[in-house]
Homo-oligomer: A and B are copies of this chain.
Amino acid sequence: MIAATWADVAERLRARGLRSTPQRRLLLDVLARTSGHVTGAALVERCRELDPATTPSTVYRTLDVLEELGIVRHAHGADGREEYHVLPESEHGHLHCSRCGVSWEIGAAEARALVAGLQASRGFVADLSHLSVGGVCAGCASA
């Protein structure tokens, strides 16, 4: 979404004295096709599908750079892996069903409503991009 954003990443990189390389363009391609969240390992794999020569270190290093640019953000999934969120999506949380393994997103508004009480009662400012709730989804619960 917002295709223009992806196009000027190269420019944004150059503005910082960084470089646009084929490997980075590849990862950006993959990210552009990715909505929501992916694990680092999954990104490595998807890149390797398009270019088998892809190496993990380059992917992870590029992700670091993209995070500094604000293009991705990382959190921790229910299984403990690094989970990358593709921007410019707004902040959102996740519901992870422990039965079927599917992850569901909850929007910013809903997420904010969830944690509003925490701020009121404890002064704890939740980071919505790290909010992840485990449990059983409606489908599995009724099955």
Chain A residues within 8 Å of B, Cβ to Cβ: 75-82, 95, 97-98, 104, 106, 110, 113-115, 117-118, 121-127, 130-138, 141-142
Of B79, B114, B127, the residue contacting A114 (CB under 8 A) is: B114
Find the B residue at minimum CB distance from A140: B125
Task: Find out whether the CB atom of A124 lies under 8 angstroms from the CB atom of B135.
Answer: yes
Task: Find out whether the CB atom of B113 lies under 8 angstroms from the CB atom of A117.
Answer: yes
CA distance A132 to B131 in the complex (A): 7
**Identical copies of this chain, number:** 2
CA distance A124 to B122 in the complex (A): 25
Task: Find out whether the CB atom of A133 lies under 8 angstroms from the CB atom of B118.
Answer: yes
Of B77, B124, B127, the residue contacting A138 (CB under 8 A) is: B124
| Chain B residues whose CB sits within 8 angstroms of the CB of A122 once the complex forms | 95, 104, 137-138
Most-contacted residue by chain B among A98, A115, A125 (CB, 10 A)? A125
